[in-house]
Structure 1
Amino acid sequence: KATMCTVYQCFGPFGEHTVNASWVAVQELKKLGLGSEVDLHVSEVPVEYQTVQRLVPSLWKQYCPLVVVHVGVSGMATTVTLEKCGRNHGYKGLDNSSFCPDSQCCIVGGPDCIDSVIDMESVCKRVTASGLGVAVSVSKDAGRYLCDFTYYTSLYLSHGRSAFIHVPPLGKPYSGEDLGRALQAIVREMLELLDQAEEKIHCQQHLH
């Protein structure tokens, strides 16, 4: 059966990141592909809260994807980092338009934290065991800036069927090609886990 995955690049250039490693990595992933059974859609988004608030819902509405995987760069990261959850409050940093939400939160009245339905620890272990040559880790804090804001918004809309991957800047230590290979391996594992979960639910419904 055909599955669908939208990989949605969170950020364009911002601050010191005149070339955003996450966009380079996603472009490399697009070249590699995810196999004939996966419909892969890629887009780049400016570092702006209001743009995110508009585009994330339209993405889910337009594609009705199995999962959306957001990718962003972190200047502090030295590994490819799988984010377990998004957080609703604490957004005080100004975006590229010098804007910050008055509420300093993603969704007014939303829960403080939303976890992805994807088991990031399992994805990390599987990818590490595959001998990819790119270090992968798991995090519980996506940083309270546009990455975290985007992730929480997407998790809220999708009831947890989203993921966020932070990549380090280019050359610190990985090339764009390395990061693209890592994204390919990670997203394949995510899709495999989601597929297994769907089959389990289907079997349980059939038994009842």
Structure 2
Amino acid sequence: MILLTGFEPFAEDTVNPSWLAARRARELLAAEGITVEAVELPCVFGESAKVLTDAIARLNPDIVVCTGLAGGRGRISLERVAINCDDARIPDNKGQRPLDEEVVPGGPAAYFSSLPIKAALRNLQIAGIKGEVSQSAGTYVCNHIFYALMHSLAAKPGIRGGFVHVPYLPEQLPEGSATPSMPLETMAEGIADIVRTALHAQADVKYSAGAIR
């Protein structure tokens, strides 16, 4: 069983490509005979984590891939590390704006993704899909859910999971905008490739994807 998640729209956006891509990736994987569910998360601190952990308890998945929007990035970003910090630049969808608060009070400073992110990156590149390993998922609701996911899975060693950021859709941007974007079908295929990689790779590979800054 695979669990995919994406977020509802937030801020000024009327759609969130992470949810559209997760839903389409579910269709692609289901067509291959893979058992997969997709859940839309609220863009709300705390509430999003509860919806996610309830879904994990209900579905008992083998792999969890959470997705979110990173507007301004031009690649599918495989996030390496979640940090125990909520520091919101803008309010969430219920007006909450935590500043320098822990996601889980007293929890570890950080968790690493348990997905094979280097192997997944290599497979994205082979498929001609722009990808990268990202060293920061930010401090907004995306990092919040990534940390909550990994904290939950720390007590469930049989389940692997991680977080993926996707770019804007082209139709979200004004005509002629220089802001990077990616078609929905490419995003969905990229997420599906990440799932396929996780299904077949129990351990990650050594592959150059670090950052100088």
TM (norm. structure 2) is 0.82
Instruction: Give yes or no for contact 1:7–1:41 (8 Å, CA) kept in 2.
Output: yes
CA gap 1:103/1:54 in 2 versus in 1, 3 angstroms: farther
Equivalent position of 1:111 in the other structure: 108
TM (norm. structure 1) is 0.84
Instruction: Give yes or no for contact 2:82–2:137 (8 Å, CA) kept in 1.
Output: yes
Question: Paired residue for 2:192, among 174, 184, 203?
Answer: 184
Is the counterpart of residue 77 in structure 1 residue 41 in structure 2? no
Q: What amino acid does structure 1 have at the position aligned with 2:64? A: V
Is the counterpart of residue 7 in structure 1 residue 4 in structure 2? yes
Instruction: Give yes or no for contact 1:74–1:167 (8 Å, CA) kept in 2.
Output: yes
* Identical counterparts, % of pairs: 25
Instruction: Give yes or no for contact 1:127–1:189 (8 Å, CA) kept in 2.
Output: no
Equivalent position of 1:18 in the other structure: 14
Per-residue deviation, 1:163: 1.2
Q: Tell me, in whole angstroms, the C-alpha distance in 2 between the residues paired with 1:80 and 1:49.
A: 23
* Worse-superposed segment, 11-20 or 97-106: 97-106
Question: Paired residue for 2:41, among 19, 41, 45?
Answer: 45
Q: What does 1:56-95 correspond to in 2, within 5 Å? A: 56-93=52-89, 94-95=91-92
Equivalent position of 2:138 in the other structure: 143
Off by >4 Å, runs of 4+ in structure 1: none
CA gap 1:102/1:140 in 2 versus in 1, 3 angstroms: closer
Q: Which runs of 5+ in 2 are unaligned?
A: 171-179, 205-213
Equivalent position of 1:163 in the other structure: 162
Figure out how many residues of one structure are paired with residues of the other and give that number.
189
Per-residue deviation, 1:76: 2.1
Per-residue deviation, 1:103: 6.7
Q: Tell me, in whole angstroms, the C-alpha distance in 1 between the residues paired with 2:94 and 2:67.
A: 21
Instruction: Give yes or no for contact 1:92–1:104 (8 Å, CA) kept in 2.
Output: no
Q: Which runs of 5+ in 1 are unaligned?
A: 198-208
- For the aligned residues, what is the CA RMSD? 1.9
Residue 105 of structure 2 aligns to a residue in which SS?
coil
Per-residue deviation, 1:150: 0.1
Q: What amino acid does structure 2 have at the position aligned with 1:71? A: T
